[in-house]
Amino acid sequence: MERYSHKYERIEKRYGRWGIFAVFGVLLVIYFCFWTARRSPLWRTTVVIANDPVVVVSIDSQQRRAAVIVVPADTQIEAVSGYGQYSLESLWKLGAIDKKDGDILAESIQELLGIPVQWYIGPSKENNIWTVSDPQALVSHVFSLQGLVRYISSSYRTNMPFLRMVRLKVALNGVAGNQYKRIVLVPDNAITMKEQPDGTTMPTVDLSRLDVLLGNMFENEKIRKDAESVAIYNTTSISSLGSRVGRMLSKLGVFVVSIGNNPVGLSQCELEGSSEALNRETAKMIDAIFHCRKISARGMLRADLELRLGMDYAKRFVHEGN
């Protein structure tokens, strides 16, 4: 103990008491980052980096690995909120015009890839992009100490709180270079050229080819071993809602046994199962994504868990004017 007290006395003499408080503050932030990351039922954090090309980084903090998906910025995809087909770069600009910021881009990419996308980040000035050409280097650049300084100076458009930025920097520091998996969407794999009414062609994404390309890279081993069967019901009038959610959950390792309709018009999604099933990892993850009302099983179910989708999730596919 005497040895450590001398150590802190030396620190205090050299940096003063504020220096000691700063050191403890940094250590506290790092501890908070690791503690909250391990408590979250969503083990994977996914961020859209609005650039040309658009870079999506998905970090598995438990396995200390990351996936980097690169999509050309002029690629047209189906946008959420009923906007129709737009290029990725146009969705970023549209978000600023319609006062939705990057949510339109992030939610549209979530539907494209079929995985939860929680965060977005991009330059605050229009037509300003990062000049770092390598996608992995761009990720490191955005979440560097310099990036944190730029965050504080409002150089980014993002929905990430500052502590989240710090958490992601800490998580990325724990990912070795050989634990990055990079997928670049090109015409040879998932990009197809679609002819426009004016005779020009625009790149679009073939979802079936994309799903084959991504494979099971987003599966969680604990969820897969959980082996909880899930039946999905769309209670809204929004078509294909159940299929969209089934695709997402399957990518995450959930055993989806059926998808159907039950037009009761729920406002909030419901997750029904036995008390044991509702306390397992699969139910916790589903609740973290869809924020469902949990219901103890009232009788025989078609699966271990029944997920009934309501308008709280479906509204992202409806234009506000409708």
What are the extents of the domains in the chain? Answer: 1-39, 44-195, 221-317
**With the C-alpha atoms ordered 165, 167, 168, 172, is the resulting torsion angle positive or negative?**
positive
Range 217-226 average pLDDT: 91
Which DSSP string corresponds to 301-322? -SSSEEEEE-HHHHGGGS-TT-
pLDDT class for 311, splitting at 50, 70, 90? very high
> Is a pLDDT exceeding 60 seen at residue 74?
yes
CATH of domain 44-195: 3.40.630.190
For residue 35, the model assigns a pLDDT of 46
Chain-centroid distance of CA 150 in Å reads 22
> Is a pLDDT exceeding 80 seen at residue 242?
yes
Range 191-195 average pLDDT: 91
Q: With H, G, I as helix, E, B as strand and everything else as coil, classify residue 83.
A: coil
Task: Please write the tens of the pLDDT for every residue from 131-188.
Answer: 888 999 999 999 999 999 999 998 899 999 999 999 999 999 999 989 999 999 999 8
Task: Please write the tens of the pLDDT for every residue from 206-215.
Answer: 999 999 999 9
For residue 25, the model assigns a pLDDT of 54
> Is a pLDDT exceeding 80 seen at residue 292?
yes
For residue 13, the model assigns a pLDDT of 56
With residue 251 as reference, give the H or E element that holds it: helix 241-251
Residues 6 or more apart whose CB falls under 8 angstroms from that of 54 comprise 48, 70, 71, 72, 73, 75, 88, 89, 105, 109
For residue 124, the model assigns a pLDDT of 87
Contact 202, 74 (CB under 8 A): yes
For residue 186, the model assigns a pLDDT of 94
- The Cα 123–Cα 160 span in angstroms is 13
For residue 38, the model assigns a pLDDT of 47
Chain-centroid distance of CA 23 in Å reads 31
State the burial class of residue 41 (Cβ atoms within 10 Å of its Cβ: 0-12, 13-18, 19+): middle
The region of weakest confidence among 23-32, 192-201, 311-320 is 23-32
Q: How many CA atoms lie within 13 A of 269 on its CB side?
A: 24
- The Cα 98–Cα 303 span in angstroms is 41
- The Cα 54–Cα 166 span in angstroms is 22
Task: Name the pTM for this structure.
Answer: 0.85
Range 61-85 average pLDDT: 94
For residue 28, the model assigns a pLDDT of 54
Per-chain mean pLDDT for the chain: 88
pLDDT class for 40, splitting at 50, 70, 90? low
Task: Please write the tens of the pLDDT for every residue from 126-145.
Answer: 666 788 889 999 999 999 99
For residue 37, the model assigns a pLDDT of 46
For residue 133, the model assigns a pLDDT of 84
Highest CATH level, class, for 221-317: alpha beta
Which DSSP string corresponds to 122-159? EESSTT------SHHHHHHHHTSHHHHHHHHTT-EEES
